[in-house]
Amino acid sequence: MATARNDTRETLGGRHAHLWWIRPDTVTEPAELARCRALLTDDEREKTDRFRVARDRHTCLITRVLVRSTLSRYCDVSPARWRFRITDHGRPEIGTPRSTLRFNLSHTKGLVVCLVSRGREVGVDVESLTRANRWLDLSDRFFAPREAAALRRVDASDRPTRFLEYWTLKESYVKARGLGLAIPLTGFSFDLPARVPDDIRIRLTPAVDDDEARWQFTLERFGRDHLVATAVERDGSEPVRITLREAVAPLV
């Protein structure tokens, strides 16, 4: 796994995507936190300050700085210069300066990730495995019938993890499409191999207007506590190569 200093210049070809990740609690230095905050626009600072719990404020701050510092690794634009627009469905995208880069963000307790591509639609979702038991009974409501049935066939001890594998994959697809919950979650499903999820296929019903062959997926375990799923748009038979990059403090 590559660990990148914040002044490392990165190149990103059309057949690659980079999955940047950081543990937010590694950014603690007060001077660095002040520099992070100074990078934000007024709107971003307000969004950050709206969280009542300090840990959530911190995660939001690190998310904003991760995306800014990450994008700046690929071009000659300083982290503070990026301006984002929010789509009608809530997805932040690059507004100015114009760029062929695309990104998607996800955050949960203990982990923030940013998936970057050159012109491809991308979606990423991170979930904490400690949540799995709590949500298990949602599968009948949010999963396609074949996913809910497959989940019931899994050993009870493996079920919470398998549940979260479906969940993160579904979120990654919804996020790559950028349409949020306008996509019916029961209208598409995943085939997960019994053990190593190295060949993950999506199946679409007519309720979802898309082409199954347009997407590739990955599912990764991050340490003991997190799962990360990615959805990346592909063209043709050659897969897009996804490389992990750890962002380390100081970010700015």
Ligand X SMILES: CC(C)(COP(=O)(O)OP(=O)(O)OC[C@H]1O[C@@H](n2cnc3c(N)ncnc32)[C@H](O)[C@@H]1OP(=O)(O)O)[C@@H](O)C(=O)NCCC(=O)NCCS
Binding site for ligand X (CB under 6 A): 60, 63, 89-92, 104-107, 125, 142, 167, 170-171, 174-175, 178, 180-181, 185
Q: Which is nearer to ligand X, 162 or 175 (CB)?
A: 175
First vs last C-alpha separation in the chain: 21
Tokens of 25: 């609690």
Instruction: Please say which residue, 7 or 217, places its beta carbon nearer to ligand X.
Output: 217
How many Cβ atoms sit within 10 Å of the Cβ of residue 63?
22
Shortest Cβ 185–ligand X spacing (Å): 5
Q: Write down the least CB distance from residue 128 to ligand X, Å.
A: 11
Least distance (Å) between residue 3 CB and ligand X: 23
In the complex with ligand X, the residue whose CB is nearer, 126 or 240, is 126
Distance of CA 208 to the CA centre of its chain: 21
**Centroid of chain to Cα 151:** 23
Q: DSSP character for 99?
A: -
In the complex, least distance from residue 197 CB atom to ligand X, rounded to whole angstroms:
16
Joined tokens for residue 152: 């019931």
Q: Would you say the C-alpha torsion 77, 107, 122, 18 has a positive or negative sign?
A: positive
Pick between residue 58 and residue 107 the one whose CB is nearest to ligand X.
Answer: 107
